[in-house]
Structure 1
Amino acid sequence: MTITQLKYVLAVAEHQNFTIASEHCFVTQPTLSMQIQKLEEALETKIFNRNKKPIQLTDVGKKIVEQAKIIVDESNRINDIVDQQKGYIGGDFKLGIIPTIMPTLLPIFLKSFIKKYPKINLKIEELTTEEIVKKLSDGHIDVAIAATPLENENIKERVLYYEPFIGFVPTEHRLSTLETLDVENLDIDDILLLEDGHCFKDNILNLCNAFGTKTQNFQLHSGSFNTLIKLSKEGLGMTLLPYLQTLDLNNEDKKFLKEFKVPAPAREVSIIYHKSHLKVHLIEALKNLIDGLIRGVIAFNDVKIISPIAQKKGV
């Protein structure tokens, strides 16, 4: 039994196809198939049911795959130990960031990070929280930045900052005369929201404790805060923005911003990674750099954290 054979098994288990798995492992399909067959012969058991389309794991194959993940992770940890001992900070490092954080946070740290750690090959993906959790579990990304808490026992969370919600209230809106907003002022029926799949939408729904059907006579599916701002200025409702999103607004649009009374509702933004702690020295380097930079941009402590986890109606 070899680590390579176990990696091939994991690839086939994920893609449910020998050809696709071989492409991801950068070997020929016959080579991959032969190595898996050798492993099955050594174990005297079948890992895959090849008669099913797509290919499926046998009952014992499912248990083998779970153990194979642990073994492969532990083998990768050896490389981490060696790199840390050498003081080497480099190599591939895959980072996922949710869409409502990437545009505002990435410009704050990216240039400094690649300058400070030129030997790191940083690969960044914009992913939803659901995609992030899956890719962390599958080992396809090393670390992510997302709104927390996620209440996932397999995910480690380390807080980077707390980001308050800011109201964007046009002149003709019923709340435009208020100096500061109160959560009790909000009505979910006149708040423009991002499309489903964005955890910031769930933040706001949880804040308003409302999962009822919206009563506007139009439906909006947008992943853009800029779109929400433009529609708000057209008199179609107010919207809520994360604090960092407001920093790049022009002076005219900033006139429509309204803060909440303290403790202000806020989202918790964390660096997250799988409990296996792979590439922990790279994760630590990323967190420390962001910590140092973000303090000069955002410093809110008296806040009330709103969960990004979608809640059931009536709960």
Structure 2
Amino acid sequence: MTITQLHYVLAVAEHKNFTRAAQKVFVTQPTLSMQIQKLEEELEITIFDRTKKPIQLTEVGEKIVKQARNIVNESDRIKDIVDQQKGFIGGVFRLGVIPTVMPTLLPMFIGNFLKKYPKVKLKIEELHTEAILEKLKEGHLDAAIAATPLEVESIKETALYYEPFVAYIPDNNPLSKLSKIEVDDLNIDDMLLLEDGHCFKDGILNLCKSSREYDTDQLQLESGSFETLVKLANEGLGMTLLPYLHTLDLKEPEKSKLRMFKDPVPAREVSLIYNRSELKIQIIEALRSTIAGVVKGAIAFQNVKIISPINKNKE
């Protein structure tokens, strides 16, 4: 049994196809098939049911894949240990970022980070939280930036900052007359929301649910971006909530429509999340310190109440 064979098994388990798996690990399909067959013969079991389309894992194959993932991760730690011993911060680093954080946070730190750590090759993907967790589990991401807490046992979370929710209220809304608002002032039926899949939407629903019951069938207008929500609000179609960093780039006439919450301000916790195996921890720590350095000056709120990003409606 070799680490290479286990890599091949994981590739086939992911792609459910020998040809695509071979392309992924940069070998020919016959080579990959032969090595997996040799492993099956050695173990005297069948890992994959080749009669099904797409290819499926057998019952014992499921257990082998789970253990193979652990073994491959631990083997990767050997190089990681050497890099840490040498003080080397470099190599490919795959980072996932949720859509509601990407456009505001990335420009704030990416230039500083690449200048300070020129040997790191960052590969960044914009992904929803669900996809991020799956890719972390499969080993296709080294870390991610997401709203937390997520309550996933295998994932470690390091808080980067706490970002308040800010209300964007058009002039035709009675709440526009208030200098500050409270959670109890919110009417979920008047709220413009991001479409399904965005954890910020779930955060808003959880925030409103804490004060009153709501009927999700009544939710009408949803969008994929905060920019569209602001435009819809400007048309008098409702109000919305924005993350604080998104409000900094609004034009002055739009900033006049912003209302902060009274203390404790509802906020989301934004964290660097990664597997508990802590592979490439030296790069993770470099990212954390770089982001903390630039965000500290932008967000100075202390008295906040963290709103969970977990979709409580699925419980």
How much does 1:215 deviate?
Answer: 3.6
How much does 1:274 deviate?
Answer: 1.1
Indicate if the aligned counterparts of 2:191 and 2:238 stay in contact, CA closer than 8 A. Answer: yes
How many residues are aligned here?
312
Where structure 1 has 5 or more consecutive residues not aligned to the other structure, the ranges are none
**Do structure 1's residue 212 and structure 2's residue 215 form an aligned pair?**
yes
Aligned position for 2:256: 255
Aligned position for 1:224: 225
**Do structure 1's residue 28 and structure 2's residue 31 form an aligned pair?**
no
How much does 1:55 deviate?
Answer: 1.0
How much does 1:213 deviate?
Answer: 3.0
Secondary structure of 1:147 counterpart: strand
How much does 1:58 deviate?
Answer: 1.5
Q: Which amino acid aligns with 1:271?
A: L
**Do structure 1's residue 56 and structure 2's residue 59 form an aligned pair?**
no
Aligned position for 1:14: 14
Q: Which amino acid aligns with 1:38?
A: K
Secondary structure of 1:161 counterpart: strand
Cα pair distance change 1:211/1:139, threshold 3 Å: farther
Aligned position for 1:127: 127
Aligned position for 2:70: 70
Identical counterparts, % of pairs = 66
Aligned position for 1:172: 172
Aligned position for 2:191: 191
Indicate if the aligned counterparts of 2:268 and 2:308 stay in contact, CA closer than 8 A. Answer: yes
Q: Which amino acid aligns with 1:78?
A: I
Cα deviation, 1:148-188, whole Å, max 9, x if unaligned, reads 00011111001000000001111111111011010010000
Indicate if the aligned counterparts of 1:143 and 1:273 stay in contact, CA closer than 8 A. Answer: yes
Separation in 2, partners of 1:259, 1:214: 28
How much does 1:220 deviate?
Answer: 3.0
Aligned position for 1:147: 147
Aligned position for 1:105: 105
Aligned position for 1:301: 302
Indicate if the aligned counterparts of 2:192 and 2:222 stay in contact, CA closer than 8 A. Answer: no
Separation in 2, partners of 1:34, 1:42: 12
Cα deviation, 1:204-227, whole Å, max 9, x if unaligned, reads 0000004513547xx434111010
Q: Which amino acid aligns with 1:54?
A: P
How well do the aligned residues superpose, as a CA RMSD in angstroms?
1.2
Separation in 2, partners of 1:126, 1:213: 27
Cα pair distance change 1:215/1:156, threshold 3 Å: same
Q: Which amino acid aligns with 1:292?
A: G
How much does 1:79 deviate?
Answer: 0.7
Where structure 2 has 5 or more consecutive residues not aligned to the other structure, the ranges are none
Indicate if the aligned counterparts of 1:206 and 1:311 stay in contact, CA closer than 8 A. Answer: yes
Separation in 1, partners of 2:81, 2:125: 26
Secondary structure of 1:175 counterpart: helix
Indicate if the aligned counterparts of 1:95 and 1:122 stay in contact, CA closer than 8 A. Answer: yes
Indicate if the aligned counterparts of 1:188 and 1:214 stay in contact, CA closer than 8 A. Answer: no
Secondary structure of 1:203 counterpart: helix
Separation in 2, partners of 1:189, 1:221: 12
Cα deviation, 1:207-260, whole Å, max 9, x if unaligned, reads 0004513547xx434111010001101100111000000000111110000000
Aligned position for 1:285: 286
User: TM-score when scaled to structure 1?
Assistant: 0.97
Separation in 2, partners of 1:109, 1:246: 18
How much does 1:294 deviate?
Answer: 0.8
Aligned position for 2:203: 203
Separation in 1, partners of 2:286, 2:218: 47
Q: Which amino acid aligns with 2:287?
A: L
User: TM-score when scaled to structure 2?
Assistant: 0.97
Separation in 2, partners of 1:4, 1:213: 49
Separation in 2, partners of 1:312, 1:297: 33
Separation in 1, partners of 2:215, 2:24: 44
